[in-house]
Amino acid sequence: MARARTVHRCQECGAEAPRWAGRCDACGAWNTMVEEVVAPPAGGRRAGRAPAPVAPTVALGAVSAAASPRWETGLREFDFVLGGGIVPGSLVLVGGEPGIGKSTLLLQVAARLSAAGRGTLYVSGEESALQVRLRADRLAEASDAAGVALLTETSLEAIVATAEAALSSGRRVEALVVDSIQTVHTELLEGAPGNVGQVRECAARLMRLAKDAGIAVFVIGHVTKGGGIAGPKTLEHIVDTVLYFEGEGSLEHRVLRATKNRFGSVDEIGVFRMLPSGLVPVENPSALFLGDREAVASGSAVTALMEGTRPVLVEVQALAARAGFSTPQRVAAGIDGRRLALLLAVLDKRGGISCAQLDVFCNVVGGMRVQEPAADLAVVAALASSVADRPLPPRAVFLGEVGLGGEVRPVSQVERRLAEAAKLGMTQAFLAERGVPRRTPPGLAVVPVASLGDVLRRTLGREAA
């Protein structure tokens, strides 16, 4: 196949150059030149300037307003994160660090689709057919996986041609998994597989395949911790849905998070346990993250986060210990370091508890990440509890944003968070005075607080300075 005419375009300023360069001539940025196809090769589909095909139009009023059908895999958390199942004709990117379980998850999905009678093609550019077979044999879905069509291939043209040939010969291909986008390459571009131009062009062509043939396409993309590698980040605007698969390597649970979804809400999470037989949906994520609340040490506080539409209870742990002779350390895991610094300053100035001479460690248990200020109150309560070395009430939940003046502000969707807390056996809820809902779940006593000082008094019996 002849190569297409390509240019290298600067991702910063848009300047074009005929050849790749490390530095853009126009704006001087480094490593921003990415190869793009400008015209298909002579002899290609549009050779000889044939007139473009005329497409039929449809009156807007005649478009069926019924919800598009969705395919449920029965892997409950996976269906949930997608917004209620797989949408035919969609392109879904599943990103995550190598080894996190992306291939396992999508092999399970492929097996389940195949068992439901949907033709499924699994393309592996990473592993041999035998390796994929051995992986499938370990799954709970092993017998379902037998019907999945397997293709070990890295040429995009061959993958698309195989899918199209199967379709035109009347065989059903309804789902396609590409593992991974970094191993696939198109002949139209010169660059090596995995570079930004290749990854982007391949994804765009798979998107066209998905739309034209109504196939659900899943693309696996590897992300490294630094995030500097060409890949998922550059694809996010091309695909319909972006799912990130996360987890600490040492923990057995994994979180699947939708960061973009044209067919559902974003920020939804699904929680799985990684077992030898594959990924198993976790029925009650709060119970997993919360652990045992019977014997809690000082420095532990519970809060309820909203993950998409779903409340999840998590434990925030803080440890303040006397620093050595060096500068006191601030170590935050699962919480933004700057937010921690801010809360330490508020605790000092408004709560009269200084950590200036202490090393401070703050951690969200279970590898969850706290991204909303609603967890502030739990963080300061945990810090104060650690400094005082007195445990907080074990069955209390803390919900509130803490302002610079030490004031406690209401959080959104407080009813849903309280309902989850009550469900998990919490008996007390510390809430912003202004944000106490009219109705609270039975068994959960609300403690209204206006300021950080109030919280310290009510929990640790401590007078604010």
**Which chain residues interact with Zn ion by CB under 5 A?**
10, 12-13, 15, 24, 26-27, 29
Dig out the tokens for 276 from the structure: 């030898």
User: Minimum distance between the CB of residue 74 and Zn ion, rounded to whole angstroms?
Assistant: 49
Min CB(26)–Zn ion separation in Å: 5
Tracing tokens 């302002």 back to the chain, one arrives at 403
Residues near 152 by beta carbon (within 8 Å), at least 6 away in sequence: 123, 124, 125, 127, 128, 129, 132
Contact 220, 181 (CB under 8 A): yes
Q: Which is nearer to Zn ion, 11 or 427 (CB)?
A: 11
Output 17-21 pairs: Cβ under 8 A, ≥24 positions apart. Answer: 20/191
* Shortest distance (Å) from residue 232 CB to Zn ion: 23
Indicate the residue among 24 and 375 with the shorter CB distance to Zn ion: 24
Q: Which is nearer to Zn ion, 38 or 47 (CB)?
A: 38
Burial of residue 104 (number of CB atoms within 10 Å: 0-12, 13-18, 19+): buried
User: Which residue type does 311 have?
Assistant: P
Judged by CB, which is closer to Zn ion: 27, or 445? 27
Name the minimum Å distance from CB 204 to Zn ion: 22
Complex with Zn ion: residue 8 or 462, whichever CB lies closer = 8
Name which of 241, 265, 370, 362 is nearest 314 in CA terms.
Answer: 370
Bridge partners, residue 422, by sequence: none
What are the C-alpha distances in Å from 350 to residues 104, 138, 317, 395, 454?
50, 56, 21, 26, 11
Residue closer to Zn ion (CB basis): 114 or 195: 195
Q: How far is the CB of 62 from Zn ion (least distance, A)?
A: 46
Joined together, the tokens standing for residue 288 give 């997993």
Q: What are the residue ranges of helices labelled H in 324-438?
A: 337-351, 376-388, 414-423
Nearer of residues 10 and 343 to Zn ion, judged by Cβ = 10
- Which is closer to Zn ion, CB of 26 or CB of 297? 26
Let me know: does 263 contact 254? Beta carbons within 8 Å.
no
Minimum distance between the CB of residue 35 and Zn ion, rounded to whole angstroms?
A: 15
Quickly count: other Cβ atoms within 10 Å of residue 153's Cβ: 17
Is residue 303 a contact partner of residue 430, using CB atoms and an 8 Å limit? no
User: What is the smallest separation between the CB atom of 203 and Zn ion, expressed in angstroms?
Assistant: 23
> 24 or 444, CB closer to Zn ion?
24
Residue 99 beta carbon to Zn ion: minimum distance, rounded to whole angstroms? 35
Q: How far is the CB of 24 from Zn ion (least distance, A)?
A: 3
Helices (H), 116-154: 129-138, 142-145
Cβ nearer to Zn ion, comparing 26 with 42: 26
> In the bound complex, what is the minimum distance in angstroms from residue 355's beta carbon to Zn ion?
46
For the chain, state the CA radius of gyration: 26
**Closer to Zn ion by Cβ: residue 21 or 450:** 21
**Virtual torsion, Cα 164, 165, 170, 171, nearest 10 deg:** -90
- Give the helix/strand (H/E) hosting 231: none
β-strands 330-333, 300-307: how paired? unpaired
> Cis link prior to 155 (omega < 30° from 0)?
no
Tokens (6 digits) for 213: 């043939």
Distance CA(360)–CA(363), nearest Å, equals: 10
Compute the least distance from the CB of residue 237 to Zn ion, in Å.
19
